[in-house]
């Protein structure tokens, strides 16, 4: 009943991993936590768009799994490619937090996206967020923002930016909800697929882990995440294209909204479909319909 859990060393990663560790301890497991540094943690001088498309925040943990140094790794699911090394798989933690992006202002000030004027400096490391910001106002000045959540907040408060965009879920998990100036409307500012959810990566033959999480994999929140991940997998699984997707479920019907932007934000292609059936089929169908709208699209992106 002993498990070794691997995680990155950031405050957010350790906080998320401790949530999973406590969940497992309550079910009778003894859990040891080990910290690993990934390429995404080391190369902070590079924009994320210049990092390898797949595995910038996961490869070192996957190597540790394959080498049997650890039994499971906890990831922000939005960082985890949909294609896994041979012998590894993933299940989803049942507690999905708010998937929306958040506008964060310097301490003591309050802002909204609509009220931001041309020329303001907005920090982000995401090509998706950049494209959506430019769609709102092509005269925003977008600045590369790397580092852990607490580092990004410090840079904002030190005056390097006028505002920054972060995942609301990460701020909530760290107790920084009061720093959120505005939670962005997800139907105007679509989040990345699976934002707000944690992924538990483990060896495919480890029945201990698959069994402890199996009963949660068909909950409403996880069915929505499965549709979003299936949509992403069609576009390359870990692509850095300006893609957004969000699924919601009501009365057994999943609605999946997805969009792809041009990098400059001038063009946006959207698709929305609903289904009572398999979430993966819905995600793949939405990706197919969206790709038919985009001129000369090539896969993977």
Query: Once rounded to an integer, what is the mean pLDDT over residues 114-124?
Result: 94
pLDDT at 52: 54
| Residue 166: strand pairing partners | 102
Q: Which CATH superfamily is domain 101-183 in?
A: Periplasmic binding protein-like II (3.40.190.10)
Q: What is 22-74 written as a DSSP string? A: HHHHTTT-EEEEEEE--HHHH-TTS-GGGS-SS-TTTHHHHHHHHTTS-SEEE
pLDDT at 241: 82
- Residues in the chain, total: 301
DSSP summary character for residue 115 = G
Q: Which CATH superfamily is domain 1-95+197-217 in?
A: Periplasmic binding protein-like II (3.40.190.10)
Q: What is the pLDDT of residues 179-235, one digit of tens each?
A: 999 999 998 899 999 999 999 999 999 999 999 999 999 999 999 999 999 999 998
Domain pair 1-95+197-217 / 218-294, same fold: no
Helix (H) or strand (E) holding 96: none
Dihedral over Cα of 11, 17, 21, 22: its sign = positive
pLDDT at 108: 82
Domain with residues 218-294, CATH architecture: 2-Layer Sandwich (3.30)
What positions carry a catalytic annotation?
Answer: 79
- C-alpha 78/C-alpha 294 separation (Å) is 24
Q: What is the pLDDT of residues 122-170, one digit of tens each?
A: 999 899 999 999 999 999 999 999 888 999 999 999 999 999 999 999 9
The verdict on whether omega for the bond into residue 300 sits within 30 degrees of 0, i.e. cis, is yes
Query: Once rounded to an integer, what is the mean pLDDT over residues 65-78?
Result: 96
**Nearest CA to 207 among 5, 71, 56, 8?**
71
Q: Which residue has the higher pLDDT, 239 or 139?
A: 139
**Nearest CA to 279 among 237, 248, 258?**
248
């Amino acid at each position: 009943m002993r498990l070794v859990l691997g995680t990155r060393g950031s405050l957010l990663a350790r906080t998320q991993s401790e949530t999973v560790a406590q969940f497992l301890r309550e079910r009778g497991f003894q859990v040891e936590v080990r910290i690993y540094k990934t390429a995404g943690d080391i190369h902070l001088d590079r924009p994320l768009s210049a990092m390898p498309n797949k595995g910038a925040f996961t490869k070192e943990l996957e190597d540790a799994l394959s080498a049997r140094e650890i039994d499971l790794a906890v990831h922000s699911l939005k960082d985890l490619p949909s294609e896994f090394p041979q012998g590894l798989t993933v299940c989803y933690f049942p507690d999905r937090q708010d998937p929306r992006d958040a506008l964060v202002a310097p301490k003591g000030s309050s802002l909204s996206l609509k009220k931001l004027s041309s020329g303001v400096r907005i920090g982000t490391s995401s090509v998706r967020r950049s494209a959506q910001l430019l769609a709102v106002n092509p005269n925003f000045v977008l600045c590369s923002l790397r580092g852990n959540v607490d580092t990004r907040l410090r840079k904002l408060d030190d005056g390097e930016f006028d505002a920054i965009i972060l995942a609301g879920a990460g701020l909530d998990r760290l107790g920084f909800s009061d720093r959120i100036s505005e939670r962005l409307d997800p139907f105007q500012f679509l989040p990345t697929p699976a934002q707000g959810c944690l992924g538990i990566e483990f060896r495919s033959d480890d029945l201990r882990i698959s069994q402890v999480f199996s009963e949660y994999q068909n909950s409403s929140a996880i069915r929505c995440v499965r549709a979003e991940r299936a949509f992403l997998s069609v576009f390359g699984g870990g692509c850095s294209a300006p893609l957004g997707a969000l699924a919601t479920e009501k009365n057994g019907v999943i609605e999946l909204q997805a969009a792809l932007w041009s990098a400059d934000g001038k063009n946006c292609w959207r698709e929305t479909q609903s289904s009572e059936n398999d979430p993966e089929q819905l995600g793949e169908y939405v990706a197919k319909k969206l790709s038919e709208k985009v001129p000369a699209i090539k896969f993977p992106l």
